[in-house]
Amino acid sequence: MKIGIYSNLERDIGGAAAKTFADALKKRGHQVLISKKMQACGIDAPLCTKEEMASKAEIIAVFGGDGTVLHIAETCARKGARILAVNLGNLGFLSEFDNIQELLSAIGQLEKGEYKTEPRALLEICYRGDTYHALNEAVLARGPHTKLLKFRVSVNGSILNHYKADGLIVSTPTGSTAYSLSAGGPVVAPEVKAMVISPICAHGLNNRSYIVSDESEVSLELIGTEDYANLNIDGEDVCPVPEGGVIRVRRSDLTAEFIRFKRYDYYTKLLAKMNSLN
């Protein structure tokens, strides 16, 4: 096998978990590629950009939290590399394993292909001719100013609602357990073909989330304000959006593939992670 390793060194201190996995793979005759950001870890393996690694490796092992997975998910979806996530963060909704020992014990199954892949849909976000992709969500929200923003939300050209709020979130089912959940949105199972529209701290009683088909196009328009909003994609600020700006969101053609072993059960993991928030 040819396996890439992408590690968040703020979580994987000194790259210890990544190095342990790399050593175990090399002892079994597998080729290892590592992210250029891991150069200081002392792992004897070719250094690659995200794009190079996802093009060359069949599987990319990701060490960190869900945020680390988000940093490489689009690249893996574009290049066809499967993601094997090891949670070294806080929650790890996207992870298959919660520690390096669980991963090491599964190398034999990995070699034999004794796993399945779970597809997770991405969003495509268009604004002023630029296109972005998100595994979790697109967010249009106020910046440092304190005034509420006004939004017009449309689905397939029909007005769905008007909001006065701190912002709006359009999420995938995967992202329903991220920012959308914090904003009071519903949890949506990953196989459901839907998008979730959730307001952030809406002013008024009409502050409910909506679930729409992922075959829809959702438009978010900033209206009636002198302030601007910030477009944020999977936790990364992209650009300011002035009054009259329209963000269009739909399902992307890209799909991220996550490796799952027989032990994996979405609802068991969901219950454990949700209980850890209490």
Specify whether 151 is located in the same domain as 73.
Answer: no
Confirm whether 66 is a catalytic residue: yes
pLDDT computed for residue 183 by the predictor:
93
* Report for 122-126, 141-145, 227-231: range of highest mean pLDDT: 122-126
For the chain, report the end-to-end CA distance as a whole number of angstroms: 41
Q: Structural domain tally of the chain?
A: 2
146 pLDDT above the threshold of 80: no
Q: What would the pLDDT profile of 13-26 be if each residue is shown by its tens digit? A: 999 999 999 999 99
- Mean pLDDT, residues 254-268: 91
Asked whether the beta carbons of 218 and 212 are under 8 A apart, the reply is: yes
Q: Are residues 91 and 129 located together in one domain of the fold? A: no
Nearest to 64 by CA among 235, 198, 181, 261: 235
- The predicted-structure confidence for 214-241, as pLDDT tens digits, reads as follows 999 999 999 977 778 999 999 999 999 9
> Is 159 a residue whose pLDDT tops 70?
yes
169 and 266 co-located in one domain? no
Q: Rounded to an integer, what is the distance from CA 2 to the centroid of its chain?
A: 24
199 and 92 co-located in one domain: no
Q: What is the mean pLDDT of residues 57-85?
A: 97
Looking up residue 43, the CATH number of its domain turns out to be 3.40.50.10330
Question: What pLDDT does residue 226 have?
Answer: 72
Both tokens of residue 202? Answer: 């809406």
128 and 221 share one domain: yes
Tens-place pLDDT, residues 201-214: 998 777 889 999 99
Alpha-carbon distance of 236 to 73, in angstroms, equals 14
**Percentage with pLDDT > 90 across the chain:** 85
Question: Based on the domain organization, do 204 and 129 belong to the same domain?
Answer: yes
| pLDDT above 70 for 48 | yes
Q: What is the DSSP string of 122-138?
A: EEEEEETTEEEEESSEE
pTM exceeding 0.85 = yes
**246 and 266 in one domain?**
no
Q: 68 pLDDT band (50/70/90 cuts)?
A: very high
Q: In this structure, are 127 and 237 located in the same domain?
A: yes
DSSP 65-79: -HHHHHHHHHHHHHH
Q: 40 and 150: one domain? A: no
Out of 66, 214, 227, 234, pick the active-site residue.
66
**Among candidate residues 148, 237, 139, 246, the one with its CA nearest the CA of residue 197:** 139
Q: What is the pLDDT of residue 34?
A: 96
Banded pLDDT at 142 (limits 50, 70, 90): confident
User: CA-CA distance, 169 to 65, in Å (whole number)?
Assistant: 21
Show the domain range for 94.
2-115+261-276
Which CATH number characterizes residue 210's domain?
A: 2.60.200.30
**DSSP code, position 45:** S
Q: Are residues 155 and 38 in the same domain?
A: no
For residues 4 and 276, which has the higher predicted lDDT (pLDDT)?
4
Give me the pLDDT at residue 182, please.
Answer: 92
pLDDT at 278: 63
Please check whether residues 199 and 79 belong to one and the same domain: no
